[in-house]
Amino acid sequence: MPTDPNPLLIDAPRPAFADIRPEHVAPALDRAIADHQAAMAEIMTSRGGDFYSVFMARERADAVIDQIWSAVNHLQSVCDTPELRAAVDGARPALVRHAMAVAQDPRLYAVLRDLTPNDAQEQAALAATLRDLELSGVALPDAERARFAAIKVKLSELKSAFGNAVLDATAAWHEDIADEAMLDGVPEADKAAFAAEAAANGVTGWRVTLHQPSVRAIMAHADNRDLRFRVYEASGTRASDRGPHAGQFDNGPRIVEILTLSQEAAELLGHADHTGVSLATKMARDSDEVIAFLRGLAAQARPFADRDLADLRAFAAERLGIADMQPWDTGYVVEKLRVDRHALDETAIRAYFPVTKVLDGLFVLLDRLFGLRFTARDDVETWHPDVRYYDLRRGDGPVFAGIYLDLFAREGKKGGAWMDVCRPRLKRPAGEQLPIAQLVCNFAAPTGGRPALLSHDDVVTTLHEIGHCLHHLLTEVSIPSVGGITGYEWDAVELPSQLMENFAWDREGLRLMSGHVDTGAVLPDDLLDRMLGARTFQSGLFLLRQIEMGLFDLLIHREGAKVDAGTVGRLLAQVRGEVAVSTPPEWHRFAHAFSHVFAGGYASGYYSYLWAERLAADAFGRFAEDGTVSAAVGDAFRLEILSRGATRPAIDSFVAFRGREPADDALLRRYGLAA
């Protein structure tokens, strides 16, 4: 791609994030779409050509347009402004229409179908591409193909609007507090973050928001029950017809339209419902198999969840004076009981996890497991001063990949934690393009000259997301459509991330990643023993909550044409009646902010977290059998799973690493539900 004053059109190893402006988006995508159309036209004259000149030409053309869209979409997630949002939303329909036109072009399909792959990687890439084209409606009659494309454009718009509504509703609510007594029980680090938020907005005192560090601090620690209720209500009714901003950002109509259009698209492809489309690219055979898996887990978890809930209610009544424990009390009671039963103080634990020490220890861990060296760069453009960039090497070898870390919550940044692909590994005529990942979290930022202190949950989250990054960065596949996480079965893609979480509970791993903020002392054995003892604390309730969300997602997508304004609430109540032991009030609107499903890539696939956790728990057993931080096992994991991408079925990669099919017992032990 030639050099262009538009930073999105510069062919460079990394995006020029600091230079990208909203006005660059539309011209860059117009140019990229035109170039992509020309590339596809040339490919369609190549019938009978060799695999590299045809298939890889398509991969390279796709990579150019993908990297432009990746950059602007990423910026909207981490530095949202009205101007950038308008530019992204304005450009999205044309991009989706173009993507559908390419995916539905029978001439391109015919050219690709006639190709002869040279090896197993190329064969897997071609098979996946043809399957995806078929799932895009390429084989449909003209009128149905056009309707399918129109649905996809509309769904893209709706999902973007859904996510924006959640972001706007999150930003719209806050509570300013002048009397510090209202924050009794809240750790000093969180109060400092509230004070910094207030000061940043010209307010005296403390500001509580709906960003996750703030919500978590109030719900787990605030003694003031009324404050807990207000935060619970505001968070639980975001983007809905209820709560403090009732109707202002309401996602209810969008949910119905998303489900209705998804059903129509599925029927056009010959599936009974959207679950058939979703599972066509996953490890699970069909939704019946997954529903049986979830219900089987629920049956085993429910007795433990009943016991957990009884413990909470008894403790709340006897020790906290809360005779009628409500959902806005649950997190608070859980934390108090956890401290009482396991003598764990979150503030004391956080003191052992300054963010710099966690990162330094993480890099040592990754060196010992996979031979990776991280080198910080201060000459790489980023999107915010907090962001850090690192080169990756194997030992003393050349740079083979890169990663951005963006760890702290701020205004204009989407909540949660995630990994994004910035650049794929790609075979190009001038040499191989190196893979780059973006790791994004929303931890409480440092305040008052003190380093940011992570909770142990934050450490788990960091390891989870680095697992996704490793899957992308350590791929040895130079065909982007089947390299790294791309094309990998979605219900197995959490395997590396959930496996890495185990090192947050591993004695050797925690010694590397801990160091007291004042003394530098590592996490003491007695504290770690208590943390390990508490690992399965209240796990029955947690597991049922995950099952509830996964089951709801599948069943709502099996409703077919019956979806209406009352379907979501009715079905959610049905699922809760089947698997839950405690339910939120009627006015709670969980689904209206369920962005994983209605704005992200997890529609009919939220079960993937538990499905993959079964794989991860079993796979980590091999590490545990060999001393956990084992270079030999780490190298085997890299070779058989991380490096292979989607060039073979995920189950084959698992068996190659573990030596057998996955078993359920490790997952049950992970939750304390089996011996």
Residue-level pLDDT at 46: 80
Whether 267 is catalytic is no
Residue 3 has pLDDT above 70, yes or no: no
| C-alpha distance from residue 586 to each of 236, 305, 590 (Å) | 11, 21, 10
- Kindly indicate the confidence band of residue 342, based on its pLDDT and cuts at 50, 70 and 90: very high
Which neighbouring-strand residues pair with 207?
176
Integer Cα distance of 474 and 205 in angstroms: 47
Degrees (nearest 5) of the Cα angle 661, 646, 67? Answer: 150
User: pLDDT exceeding 90 applies to what percent of the chain?
Assistant: 91
Residue-level pLDDT at 236: 97
Domain with CATH 1.10.1370.40 in the chain: 355-533+609-670
- pLDDT tens, residue by residue, 120-159: 999 999 999 999 999 999 999 999 999 999 999 999 999 9
Integer Cα distance of 169 and 248 in angstroms: 8
Q: Which of 465, 494, 501, 640 is catalytic?
A: 465
228 in Cβ contact with 320 (< 8 Å): no
Residue 560 has pLDDT above 90, yes or no: no
- pLDDT tens, residue by residue, 44-82: 888 777 898 899 999 999 999 999 999 999 999 999 999
Integer Cα distance of 509 and 466 in angstroms: 14
Integer Cα distance of 70 and 63 in angstroms: 10
Domain with CATH 1.20.1050.40 in the chain: 7-139
What's the Rg (C-alpha) of the chain?
Answer: 25
E-strand ranges in 308-465 read 372-377, 388-394, 399-408, 418-423, 426-428, 431-433, 436-443
* Among the listed residues 181, 133, 300, 153, the one whose alpha carbon sits nearest the alpha carbon of residue 669: 300
Residue-level pLDDT at 4: 56
11 token code pair: 């062919």
Residue-level pLDDT at 2: 44
Integer Cα distance of 618 and 621 in angstroms: 5
Q: Model-level pTM? A: 0.87
- The CATH class for the domain spanning 355-533+609-670 reads mainly alpha
Average pLDDT of the residues in 404-416: 93
Integer Cα distance of 196 and 199 in angstroms: 5
Average pLDDT of the residues in 587-610: 95
343 token code pair: 């003598």
Integer Cα distance of 577 and 571 in angstroms: 10
- Torsion, Cα of 78, 84, 85, 86 (10° steps): 180
Q: Where are the alpha helices (DSSP H) in 79-185?
A: 82-103, 106-113, 120-135, 142-172
* Among the listed residues 155, 159, 137, 154, the one whose alpha carbon sits nearest the alpha carbon of residue 146: 137
Domain 7-139, what architecture?
Up-down Bundle (1.20)
16 in Cβ contact with 79 (< 8 Å): no
- pLDDT tens, residue by residue, 543-557: 999 999 999 999 999
E-strand ranges in 127-271 read 174-177, 206-209
Integer Cα distance of 662 and 491 in angstroms: 14
Residue-level pLDDT at 431: 86
Residues 6+ apart with CB under 8 A from 404: 382, 387, 388, 389, 422, 436, 437, 438, 439
Tokens 């209610």, located at residue: 313
Amino acid at site 163: G
Average pLDDT of the residues in 441-450: 90
Residue 41 has pLDDT above 50, yes or no: yes
- Kindly indicate the confidence band of residue 415, based on its pLDDT and cuts at 50, 70 and 90: confident
Integer Cα distance of 596 and 354 in angstroms: 30
- Kindly indicate the confidence band of residue 192, based on its pLDDT and cuts at 50, 70 and 90: very high
Domain with CATH 1.10.1370.10 in the chain: 252-344+539-606
- Kindly indicate the confidence band of residue 35, based on its pLDDT and cuts at 50, 70 and 90: very high
671 in Cβ contact with 543 (< 8 Å): yes
Integer Cα distance of 221 and 228 in angstroms: 9
Fold of 252-344+539-606: Neurolysin; domain 3 (1.10.1370)
What is the overall mean pLDDT for the chain? 95
Integer Cα distance of 271 and 542 in angstroms: 33
| C-alpha distance from residue 277 to each of 257, 264, 282, 604 (Å) | 18, 11, 10, 9
Residue 430 has pLDDT above 90, yes or no: no
Tokens 């969008």, located at residue: 254
638 in Cβ contact with 653 (< 8 Å): no
- pLDDT tens, residue by residue, 492-540: 999 999 999 999 999 999 999 999 999 999 999 999 999 998 999 999 9
Residue-level pLDDT at 1: 42
Integer Cα distance of 212 and 218 in angstroms: 10
DSSP 181: G
Tokens 């980590």, located at residue: 620
Residue 329 has pLDDT above 70, yes or no: yes
Integer Cα distance of 657 and 633 in angstroms: 9
